[in-house]
Amino acid sequence: MSSLERSGGDDMNEYAGLVSRFLAYTVDAVVVAVFTGGAALVFGVVAAIVGSGAWELARLVVSSYLVLLPAVLALYCAVFWMLAGRTPGMAFLGLRVVRADGRTPGWFASFLRGLMLAYFPIGALWLLVDRRRQALHDKVARTSVVRAMPAPATPLTPAPAPLTPAPTTQ
């Protein structure tokens, strides 16, 4: 039994399902597509202004956009998983990627997970038949996606004033 299953009422207590994971992935894919598409568009406009030699390079970059987009998405996801345990899309939906011990995945597991998810997204459907809702990329990277419960809010109270001795007169 993993520490995640034993933890009971800690900050993580439920495996994420298909819909929330799909929505998080869609948010991240749109963010990556907008930024890379914008970069390709700017590159194309600059190449059109510079001249015909740069225009051929711009056509090559724009045509390779669809091939490189999954690699950029894999790198984007891997960096966020490694540093924060979640991508912005996952944070928006309250999800987190964790190892069996509850910690964030390392660089190798994050990169492997990102590559598999970007280039073999159909493997994500495996979570429909898995009791821990792990997709194939989770199985290979030995990770799980869980709902991260927000920390309870603490009331804002002013700090007590330090006690200082009163000045004495002599």
Q: What is the mean pLDDT of each run of 10 residues along the chain (170 residues)?
A: 44 80 94 87 77 71 79 95 95 94 93 93 90 93 87 61 67
- Residue 151's contacts (CB-CB under 8 Å, 6 or more residues apart) are 11
27/16 Cα distance (integer angstroms): 16
Burial of residue 21 (number of CB atoms within 10 Å: 0-12, 13-18, 19+):
buried
pLDDT in the model for residue 6: 39
Check if the beta carbon of residue 23 is closer than 8 Å to that of residue 93.
yes
CB 25 within 8 A of CB 159: no
Is residue 47 within 8 A of residue 58, CB to CB? The reply is: yes
What pLDDT is stored for residue 80 in this prediction?
Answer: 97
Name 50's bridge partners.
Answer: none
Cβ(148)–Cβ(11) under 8 Å? yes
Query: What is the pLDDT, as a whole number, of residue 159?
Result: 62
In the prediction, which pLDDT does 150 show? 62
Tokens of residue 107, six digits: 């660089």
Determine the Cα–Cα distance for residues 108 and 157; give it in Å rounded to an integer: 43
What's the order of all strands across the beta sheet hosting 95-99? Answer: 12-15, 143-148, 95-99
> What does the pLDDT read at residue 40?
77
Strand 143-148 to 12-15 pairing: antiparallel
Residue 13: its pLDDT value, please?
Answer: 62
d(CA 104, CA 123): 21
**What backbone torsions phi and psi does residue 98 show, to the nearest 5 degrees?**
-135, 155
Distance, in Å, from the CA atom of 70 to the CA atom of 136, rounded to the nearest integer, reads 17
